[in-house]
Amino acid sequence: MAEYYIGEIRMFAGLKPPSGWVFCDGTTLPISGNEALFTLLGTVYGGDGRVNFMLPKMNGRVPLGTGHGTNLSTYTLGQAVGAESVALTNATMPTHNHPLQASTGPGTSRAPGPDLTFATIPSPFVPYTNPPAGAATTDDDFASVAISVSGGGAPHSNLMPVLGINYIIALRGIFPSG
């Protein structure tokens, strides 16, 4: 490989890392013999900081830039977030409603469709109309209407399409300065 920095991480499609590189798999390394890499990583990814430190664990993870973007959350170096599956519950759903506009006035069409009123039908049925959105009705002939809860709260996949690939980190190389 061309020149590279100690601690540089690259994607790698091979089964075995090249010489001087190791997989980003959360391995615990001794500080002794890896002082330069420890100086860069510290215990951000784990370890006791006295005799060992840990490499980043990229298995099953997608990298994310640190810091704060406009209208985005802030992420720190080594912070792991996210879940492969999530369960939607009433508490996690945004507030929303499904208004129903109805009236006892005469209908205008026998075919259903948007912005149409229901057609008049023989007694004992009561015809309904669809007044403009926001129009109030004083009709008291309506029974209470409720939309039932849907779903069972079971987790569903939260993953974008992904391809498994290895991440490797350089144990040796140029020490970054500046």
CB count within 10 Å of CB 130 equals 19
Predicted structure pTM score: 0.67
Q: Considering only CA atoms, which of 54, 74, 52 is closest in space to residue 65?
A: 74
What CATH number is attached to the domain comprising 22?
3.90.1340.10
Q: Does 52 fall in a domain?
A: yes
Domain count across the chain: 2
How many Å separate Cα 83 from the centre of its chain? 7
Give 31-79 pLDDT, tens digit per residue.
999 999 999 999 999 999 999 999 999 999 999 999 998 999 999 999 9
In this prediction, residue 75 carries a pLDDT of 95
Q: Does 149 fall in a domain?
A: no
Same domain assignment for residues 58 and 103:
no
Q: Does 158 fall in a domain?
A: no
Q: Does 74 fall in a domain?
A: no
Q: Does 67 fall in a domain?
A: no
Laid out side by side, the sheet with 166-170 consists of: 9-12, 166-170, 21-23
Residues of the domain holding 34: 8-62+164-170
User: Rounded to 5 degrees, what are φ and ψ at 35?
Assistant: -60, -40
| H/E stretch holding 157 | strand 156-157
Q: Does 53 fall in a domain?
A: yes
Task: Please list the ranges in the chain whose pLDDT falls under 70.
Answer: 1, 98-113, 115-150
Q: Does 93 fall in a domain?
A: no
Is residue 92 within 8 Å of residue 98, measured between CB atoms? no
